[in-house]
Structure 1
């Protein structure tokens, strides 16, 4: 069943006034994307050329129409006709090339970002990932990376193109009429800066809410996918699916609410276009007696094309907001790597002592525990579901910090040890650990890579998987198609237990290793794990098992169990 321990909420609510303070998160997130500057500049150049062709098309078309009205010789119009055709064709071709360049850059950057996140998670503190549900991790590594990469396609390139085109259009109009250019500049500022800023500021809170709904939806969906058999037996599967559907609707409603400010901002460029055209008309009337009719036509039509680049800016401002939120969530998950400071070496002995209150951030209560585990100790942690057994084991393993107190190994706080070395010495084996869609052999070698096949086979035999292994078509080389989907719940538990047996850790923390086993097998496995003459765990290894119930003497002769009852 899904773990009932409370899950922390790391992301804090966004406030409209925080937009400026969040900007560094988006800048820092560019270290994840690592886009190539030459590719971005190429995309911007193609975008400028595409919309520049539209601007030139409007100017040449205005000149051609007005000049043709004057009925000059056809040869006088030939160059303009060719230019109109050229710019009409090149606009579409260049726009397509710009799309290719921009999306190529964004997709490459998204791939780089995911690789950077995986690398940071592998090298960084384990607590940054283990605090989150797998659905939340999927949302961050999936949707949030996509939103971060979208900043290149929907914000950076459109903003740069609009800035260049706005300056170019204003400069051309200024040559004809400085007053008309001043009106155009003010209207471009309204459409290209004021409207997007209003859209971005208004969308901050709604976008944060929408992102949280998205994460909640993914969490519900992952619970349904990962625990479908247990939920079906408990009669709760339909409720979890309904919850995922409800969160999907909440996400859609929040997105709609977030889009309303952008819709209002979208109307402002239309008003700005009307004002700029009106200004051009007034300026044209004043210049009617001093300039050619063709010049007046260019003055009237050019502002219409000048605003084409600003139509994407309100959406760009909203995308900046979304990307800032995604960047902050990604940096919370995988913060920038700091210079590594070597920790202390883990002692060869290994007395684990804890005097802590364990729990997640924001939990309503914490579990007070005081215990000492000398080398070779056996400890069973029992209690009802949700009492904090898993959280205690994760605290002992250094995966989450205690709410209060500290955990020590031979008198030294575990936070002072080299993290990689410590986790090789003290290992936590989760009840829902991942089963990879690869061979049985590879699924065991993740625990210790130097194991021989005979050792792997012997371990599978010790945990009760001999019959299962002999029935596989290729033995250890059989691919577990679909990962955990290729196993029954009991087979998965035994396979994960085999990993713990093979692992080199001297202190082994096992979470519900006998769940989904029948009562007789569960008692036998617990006796083997916790007994002083265990064939699964050698006498020098410390074993801590979180379980709902201890065996009642069947096959447990001379078993010495220290039991910590959590209420």
Structure 2
């Protein structure tokens, strides 16, 4: 039981949370559909043999009606099974994506931060589909095959125990051995194929996101060729994965032939004691008995693929956001002092930054240093998005990891330099930070960040759709739009990562002065800004980070209140 619980596929299926009544309905329809095929074979065998004896037509009327009934019901029930199973799988896939998004939003960022955008898209898209396919292409066929196999063996054993034994052995070979061989052979190849798939997605996302820059640099044709090559490699890898599965798929056909041959031999031996109609059923029933198990090798391959997909998804979201009872809340009158005595860094290693600081309400601080020295890591650690390698970060004496998620985000907000711009209206792009803002507030925020003229030139103002998302904006306009989100936030502690990057020097210095002086963000709020440069006339507490060759970046800031205008320290 413990081994079963630790199986990544079992854990992954918990993400799906399928509707069990609907899944049971799909199983029932599948059993009845293939059961109709089994009954159709038996009744048809009886009818053909009995008609050969030329009895009165009334003796055949019930069998004729039964043949028609089973023939029609098989198609109808098969359609109902598809409706129920696909509805279950699609709803389960939606449920899994909701849980994954929730875990990504509330969980640690170490794993997602190390993955490329293409890999993330592949996992949330393709891997979730593979996981949900386990319901339709694995769980359902296996259950239906198990029920129908038992029923066929029992019916045949009532006629001839020896024939029933032969059928049971052949069904076991085709229903257990063949799927096992198919799954074992496909596992290693599927890992290779999945690697090619990830490479293809990464290359494709790079092309889609940076096509203009790649075209200017002359790299776009090369990447398109690489994407096509990755697609071909992926196809070849999948073809190789299908070879052992093909062998497994051939075994049920061979087992069916052996079963039929055994039934014929046993039928010849029993021909003197069995009625012709019963003898016909004995020989023809095995043909329909294998219809359910022929899908099992493909089901085993699907289980292998779904298990791999589940393992990748569980790495992405290692555990559910726990509803722990020891979460704490910050009182409305609490002192919102941010205290950090920690070593910031990703769990996988790399740069570490030692931080020792105390930021009281209204303090301003800059994190200064070159790219790659750990500025973003420090901010993410202060925001509770990245667990410190050692030490702790507190707000009002409460560790960040003890705060409820909503409580933490209401008090500390991190604004990334590459925050997403959605392909929707300007209004909706601003409302993502606070949904209750009025148009007056939105217009005021855009005006304060210098986007009034830009907005006035848009055809529909705030209702203008930014077609292509970030592609509809210049780099500077995107920075200002993201900065407008900062102004709309009500969090008392604001952490900004490179808010003035891609602006000209004069505009960048002007915005930095406004951010650190209290002109843009109220003086009662704590502001931490990570930047590459700092105007010489700005005095503020500054954490300087350096990236030395061959050693991790380190920086230490002794605590103390920061000056909001005439800072006393810049060290």
TM-score (norm 2): 0.85
Determine the structure 2 residue equivalent to 1:322.
305
Instruction: Note if 1:290 corresponds to 2:276.
Output: no
Q: Deviations over 1:223-254 (max 9, x none)?
A: 33233344444444445444444443343333
Determine the structure 2 residue equivalent to 1:175.
158
Determine the structure 1 residue equivalent to 2:403.
417
Query: Relative to structure 2, which stretch is displaced further, 458-467 or 431-440?
Result: 431-440
CA distance in 2, matches of 1:224, 1:391: 27
Q: CA deviation at 1:524?
A: 2.6
Query: Relative to structure 2, which stretch is displaced further, 170-179 or 97-106?
Result: 97-106
Determine the structure 1 residue equivalent to 2:82.
99
CA distance in 2, matches of 1:215, 1:311: 31
Q: Deviations over 1:69-88 (max 9, x none)?
A: 44444444444344333333
| Alignment map for 1:158-197 (pairs within 5 Å) | 158-197=141-180
Query: Relative to structure 2, which stretch is displaced further, 126-135 or 496-505?
Result: 126-135
Query: Relative to structure 2, which stretch is displaced further, 105-114 or 186-195?
Result: 105-114
**Contact 2:374 2:545 survives alignment (8 Å):** no
**Contact 1:343 1:416 survives alignment (8 Å):** yes
**Contact 1:136 1:219 survives alignment (8 Å):** yes
Query: Relative to structure 2, which stretch is displaced further, 170-179 or 497-506?
Result: 497-506
Determine the structure 1 residue equivalent to 2:539.
559
Determine the structure 1 residue equivalent to 2:22.
39
Tell me the SS of whatever aligns to 2:291. helix
| Alignment map for 1:114-193 (pairs within 5 Å) | 114-125=97-108, 129-130=112-113, 132-193=115-176
Tell me the SS of whatever aligns to 2:357. strand
CA change 1:333–1:112 in 2 (3 A) is same
CA change 1:125–1:424 in 2 (3 A) is farther
**Contact 1:43 1:98 survives alignment (8 Å):** yes
Determine the structure 2 residue equivalent to 1:350.
337
CA distance in 2, matches of 1:23, 1:187: 32
CA distance in 2, matches of 1:200, 1:449: 49
CA distance in 1, matches of 2:534, 2:215: 26
CA distance in 2, matches of 1:243, 1:403: 38
Gapped runs of 5+ residues in structure 2? 548-571
CA change 1:127–1:397 in 2 (3 A) is farther
CA change 1:236–1:391 in 2 (3 A) is farther
CA change 1:469–1:280 in 2 (3 A) is same
Pairwise CA RMSD of aligned residues?
Answer: 3.0
CA distance in 2, matches of 1:448, 1:381: 29
**Contact 2:33 2:73 survives alignment (8 Å):** yes
Residue among 493, 503, 527 paired with 2:489: 503
Determine the structure 1 residue equivalent to 2:567.
none
Tell me the SS of whatever aligns to 1:370. strand
Q: CA deviation at 1:454?
A: 3.4
Instruction: Note if 1:224 corresponds to 2:207.
Output: yes
CA change 1:51–1:343 in 2 (3 A) is closer
CA distance in 2, matches of 1:514, 1:545: 10
**Contact 1:381 1:544 survives alignment (8 Å):** no
CA change 1:418–1:58 in 2 (3 A) is closer
CA change 1:381–1:212 in 2 (3 A) is farther
**Contact 2:4 2:10 survives alignment (8 Å):** no
Gapped runs of 5+ residues in structure 1? 1-18
Query: Relative to structure 2, which stretch is displaced further, 131-140 or 47-56?
Result: 131-140
CA distance in 2, matches of 1:161, 1:321: 19
| Alignment map for 1:354-433 (pairs within 5 Å) | 354-359=341-346, 361=348, 363=349, 365-372=350-357, 374-375=359-360, 376-384=363-371, 386-409=372-395, 413-433=399-419
CA change 1:496–1:488 in 2 (3 A) is same
Determine the structure 2 residue equivalent to 1:515.
501
Tell me the SS of whatever aligns to 1:356. strand
CA distance in 1, matches of 2:368, 2:218: 28
Determine the structure 2 residue equivalent to 1:439.
425
Q: CA deviation at 1:470?
A: 1.5
Q: CA deviation at 1:284?
A: 1.0
Tell me the SS of whatever aligns to 1:378. strand
Q: CA deviation at 1:313?
A: 0.5
Tell me the SS of whatever aligns to 2:414. strand
Determine the structure 2 residue equivalent to 1:8.
none
CA distance in 2, matches of 1:216, 1:409: 42
Tell me the SS of whatever aligns to 1:400. coil
Instruction: Note if 1:341 corresponds to 2:325.
Output: yes
- Please list every run of at least 4 consecutive aligned residues from structure 1 whose deviation after the TM superposition is greater than 6 angstroms: none
Residue among 429, 445, 450 paired with 1:464: 450
CA change 1:200–1:545 in 2 (3 A) is same
CA change 1:351–1:170 in 2 (3 A) is closer
Tell me the SS of whatever aligns to 2:529. strand
Q: CA deviation at 1:459?
A: 2.2
Q: CA deviation at 1:328?
A: 3.4
Instruction: Note if 1:252 corresponds to 2:231.
Output: no
CA change 1:521–1:249 in 2 (3 A) is farther
Q: CA deviation at 1:412?
A: 5.6
Residue among 274, 285, 288 paired with 1:305: 288
